[in-house]
Structure 1
Amino acid sequence: MLNEAKKNLSDAFKALSADALKSNNQMFLEVAKSSFDKLKEGAEQDLIKRQVAIDQVIRPVKEGLEKFDQKIQALEKSRVGAYEGLNQQVKSLIDSQIQLRSETTNLVNALRKPQVRGRWGEIQLKRVVEIAGMLNHCDFKEQYVVGDEGNRLRPDMVVNLPGGKTIVVDAKVPLTAYLEGQETQDETLMQTKRKEHARRIREHISELSRKAYWEQFSHAPEFVVLFLAGEAFFSAALQEDPALIELGVDQRVIIATPTTLIALLKAVSYGWQQEDLAENSKKIGVLGKELYKRIVDMSGHFASLGGNLKKAVESYNKTLGTFESRVLVSARRFEDLKITDSKKPLNSPPPIENLTRVLQAPELDQRDQEEDHTKEAP
């Protein structure tokens, strides 16, 4: 019995314990679930707040990155466009260089021909004259041939100076050796060609000196101008032969490049300006004397006209006096006899009391005296 009661009691205790445990577990789970739900809700709200805060922090960065990306894309497009434009310009430059090289080659080949070189030198000479404004005072070779039949000389240009004097200019283009020296890469050959170029200019100086143009032109100074159509031609020759200038002066040949010839022609142009001023001054002097003479003659006419007007006024006043004393007196008797129906009184015209002004000038007195002497002369 005791064991059975003990067993029953144990079973009852177990049942109560199980029920209590189950009830406690159920309560724990409910409390835990309620706490977890609250924690979950708080965590979600905190997560939302943190997400909003993070978005607020990240949004400006995101917007800045988007703008930066847009600028990068715009710069890339601009770079591509600029690169294409640069490619076009480089291509155009290359084409221009090829065309320039071709034209330069054609020009060099053309200048190797003596006739073409001579014509080019004449064109350069005329261009220099145009720049200096001296076309009206320069005659070119088509207009000048000097010497006899056996020794006919034709200078390229004759510069006319004030006073009837002239300067003879002869154009030379020694290009063969110069161009060959420029084309070669061999320093020894280049030096040889430069010396040959200088020697050719020496020969031109001697040739012009022998022509003695100053003997063919009576009013020309005793020198002739050797015109080289390019500055580089002369400077290259001077590097090899610095005595070219002294040689030319000794042989009465002045070497001139476009720059120095323009300066020379400008000086001549200034001389022509002074000549024109002097000529105009002479013309002004002649016109001034003629104008003065005409003014004096006109003054005499004014004096004669004034005298005639004075005589006319005197005659008018004298006639008016006769009219008043002899004509009007008789005419007024008709009014007294009531013969006329006119109600207007018969008045006498007014006399002219203003006299003509006398023109007073010492020149007129002198002219009158000269005329009187002329009349009195037998």
Structure 2
Amino acid sequence: MEIHWLIIAMVTGVFVGTAVTWLLCRVRITTLNEQYIATQQDLANTRADLDLKSETVSQLNQVIVRLETTLEHERKTTYEKLNILNDATLKLGDAFKALSSEALKSNNQSFLELAKITLEKYQTEAKGDLEQRQKAVEHLVTPIKQSLEKVDTQIQELEKARQQAYGSLTEQVKSLIYTQEKLQSETGNLVKALRTPTVRGHWGEIQLKRVVEIAGMLEYCDFDRQQTVTTEDGRLRPDMLVRLPGGKNIVVDAKTPLLAYLDALESTNDDQRLSKLRSHAQQIRSHMTKLSAKSYWEQFQPTPEFVVLFLPGEMFFSAALELDPALIEEGAKQHVILATPTTLIALLRAVYYGWRQEQVSENTRKISELGQELHERIATMVEHLTKLGGSLGKAVEAFNAAVASFEGRVLPSVRKFEALGAGSKKEIEELTPIDKNPRVLMEIQGEHDTRIC
């Protein structure tokens, strides 16, 4: 028995672990796909920005080329002017030499000096203009150079981030493939375990108990294995008895027809899979017929005229119902209600609601009994208080009569003793009659009030 429970615990753990691992893998794949799509979108945006910046750089390069062309043209023009001026100076000097050296000596010297000054001034202006043009070109080129450097840096960073992202994605995909292979292995082990009749039976009972826990009905469900009935056909032992308010019961029997269903899942041929699913539906119908023949509702009285056939998985029932839609109707005719975890939870919750109403009714009855007992005790106490009130009234009347007698007959004689000097130092206090009567109690009888004197 301990080995059976150990196998059940292992199978349940493997099943739960498999389901959780599958869900985690599915969520992880969805997250990785979303990250991959986001990375692709960022890469596309970066490429678009890079194309725009490349176009800007191309335009700026064209501007630089035009500026350099203009600068070169200005340089050539300046050199040509200087050459022309030099040629004119040489020609002018030769012309003056041809004249009388004596007559034009001073004028020639002055003209040469003036020409020299003019030439130096022109060269200075041309040089300054050339430096300004160079500075202007540098001023235009420097921002472009800086922008290109920034673009290059961003491209390198994006490429590095892309490589890291793809590297991480590759590792995650490898991990996912390993997890998937492990999941397939564990699933295969689970399928092998569920092919064992004993394991299937215990798994069905565990699922049944889990459904009861979810519905909060453990208090009202019996899983006692000794709950058996001996008939002419043998011993009947249901898997669970659901206790109803009023002392009635519902019999639940768990079945796990999985062989044909598991064979259908493993089939690669559509015709073979359809044939296995038909066998699965036939197995459920056979269990239903056998369970109807046991007539549990006659053996476990009082109980409704039906028994619940519990299938521990929604997929088992839906697969059979798809190929045999008359299962539900046929089960109703045979007094067998087919239930999956979802429908059984709904049934048990309805029964739980009935128990809550039963508790409310029981509490109401107890409150009514307590109210009657309290009313009787209060009535008895009122009787005693009424008697006490009557006694107090008589005591007050007797006290007032004693005070009147004391004041009318005893006190005058005492005053005479005092007048004769036979009194004591202690004064006699004045007695005051009691002019209050005990409060009248009210006794409620039906809807009318009557006074009790």
Say whether residues 1:324 and 2:368 are aligned partners.
no
Measured in 2, the distance between the counterparts of 1:255 and 1:222 equals 14
The structural deviation recorded for 1:109 is 1.6
Deviations 1:1-28 (A, max 9, x none): xxxxxxxxxxxxx998799999999888
Q: Which amino acid aligns with 2:434?
A: I
- Which residue pairs with 1:134 in the alignment? 217
Measured in 2, the distance between the counterparts of 1:155 and 1:284 equals 38
- Asked whether the 8 Å contact 2:241–2:250 carries over to 1, the reply is yes
Mapping of 1:1-378 within 5 angstroms? 34-58=117-141, 60-62=143-145, 64-65=147-148, 68=151, 71-72=154-155, 75-76=158-159, 78-80=161-163, 82-148=165-231, 151-333=234-416, 335-338=418-421, 342=425, 345-361=427-443, 363=445
Which deviates more from structure 2 when the two are superposed, residues 40-49 or residues 226-235?
40-49
Which deviates more from structure 2 when the two are superposed, residues 271-280 or residues 78-87?
78-87
Q: Which amino acid aligns with 1:163?
A: G
Which deviates more from structure 2 when the two are superposed, residues 354-363 or residues 210-219?
354-363
3-state secondary structure, aligned to 1:159? strand
Measured in 2, the distance between the counterparts of 1:337 and 1:92 equals 127
Measured in 1, the distance between the counterparts of 2:100 and 2:327 equals 139
Measured in 2, the distance between the counterparts of 1:49 and 1:341 equals 140
- Which residue pairs with 1:4 in the alignment? none
The structural deviation recorded for 1:191 is 1.5
- Asked whether the 8 Å contact 2:443–2:449 carries over to 1, the reply is no
- Which residue pairs with 2:31 in the alignment? none
Deviations 1:85-119 (A, max 9, x none): 54454344334333332332222121111111111
Measured in 2, the distance between the counterparts of 1:354 and 1:48 equals 128
Measured in 2, the distance between the counterparts of 1:25 and 1:155 equals 142
3-state secondary structure, aligned to 1:147? strand
The structural deviation recorded for 1:208 is 0.8
- Asked whether the 8 Å contact 1:328–1:348 carries over to 2, the reply is no
Q: Which amino acid aligns with 1:100?
A: L
Measured in 2, the distance between the counterparts of 1:73 and 1:324 equals 124
Percent identity reads 56
The structural deviation recorded for 1:56 is 4.6
Which deviates more from structure 2 when the two are superposed, residues 26-35 or residues 279-288?
26-35
Measured in 2, the distance between the counterparts of 1:106 and 1:23 equals 123
The structural deviation recorded for 1:309 is 1.8
3-state secondary structure, aligned to 2:227? coil
C-alpha RMSD of matched pairs (Å): 3.5
Q: Which has the larger radius of gyration?
A: 1
Measured in 2, the distance between the counterparts of 1:22 and 1:98 equals 111
Measured in 2, the distance between the counterparts of 1:259 and 1:87 equals 41
Which deviates more from structure 2 when the two are superposed, residues 141-150 or residues 186-195?
141-150
Which deviates more from structure 2 when the two are superposed, residues 70-79 or residues 260-269?
70-79
3-state secondary structure, aligned to 1:94? helix
Deviations 1:156-191 (A, max 9, x none): 011111222111110011111111111221212212
- Which residue pairs with 2:56 in the alignment? none
Deviations 1:30-51 (A, max 9, x none): 6665445433432343344334
Q: 1:71 to 1:304 in 2, by over 3 A?
A: farther
Measured in 1, the distance between the counterparts of 2:167 and 2:395 equals 101
The structural deviation recorded for 1:314 is 1.7
Which deviates more from structure 2 when the two are superposed, residues 152-161 or residues 276-285?
276-285
What is the number of equivalent residue pairs in this alignment?
Answer: 354
- Asked whether the 8 Å contact 2:442–2:449 carries over to 1, the reply is no
The structural deviation recorded for 1:155 is 0.4
Q: Which amino acid aligns with 1:111?
A: L
Q: 1:92 to 1:287 in 2, by over 3 A?
A: farther
Measured in 1, the distance between the counterparts of 2:108 and 2:281 equals 125
Deviations 1:184-238 (A, max 9, x none): 2121221221111112112211221221111211212222111000010011112
The structural deviation recorded for 1:304 is 1.9
